[in-house]
Amino acid sequence: MLKSASILSAAVLAAAGLAAPASAATFTPNPLSSVTFTGNLTIQQPGSIVTCAVTLTGYVPGGGSMVVITQASFSGSWQCGALVAPTGLPWYLHPNTTTSVTLQGIGLKTMVGSCSGNVNTGWINGSPGKIDFVGVTIPGSPGACTVTGALNSSPSLTII
């Protein structure tokens, strides 16, 4: 009985290995103990619009499957950081393809409410690599937030 279970387990594991997806997109270089994204983002929600200088700081674990964003700050106009601010850290940036990423767990306090969730947005490989927000919609209350702008990585990240 034990021998049959072992053979069955080996067969299941072998089949699972054959069904695995092709290699996933990854960030390089990795691991990276510190990476920073900086740039301007315009955040719109019904009844408000503000442009803030945004800094996100985090790290890339070994394997490059994500960037873990552990710190975020908004500055610039007087609303940024006080009335419009990041919430719900850490956030996770996952590479989908060489031109697409998912930002998981993003949260924003806004002048009229809040927005949070997971969003797909663009990525531009280059020097520097950058997150490209082109009218990205984040679910929220009293209405969704629309985010536009770009955040440059330093040191430069590339998705392969």
| Model confidence pLDDT, tens digit, residues 115-131 | 999 999 999 999 999 99
- What distances in angstroms separate CA 3 from CA 7, 8, 43, 140, 152, one per listed residue? 6, 9, 61, 55, 56
Radius of gyration of the chain (CA): 19
Closest C-alpha among 92, 93, 160 to residue 131: 93
What domains sit in the chain, N to C, each tagged with a CATH number?
Answer: 23-159 (2.40.128)
Residue 145 pLDDT more than 70?
yes
Average pLDDT score over residue span 24-53: 97
pLDDT per position as a tens digit, 41-63:
999 999 999 999 999 999 999 99
Residue 99 pLDDT more than 60?
yes
C-beta separation of 110 from 43 below 8 A: yes
Residue 5 pLDDT more than 50?
no
Q: How confident is the model at residue 4 (pLDDT cuts 50, 70, 90)?
A: very low
What is residue 23's predicted lDDT score, i.e. its pLDDT? 54
| Averaged confidence pLDDT in the chain | 89
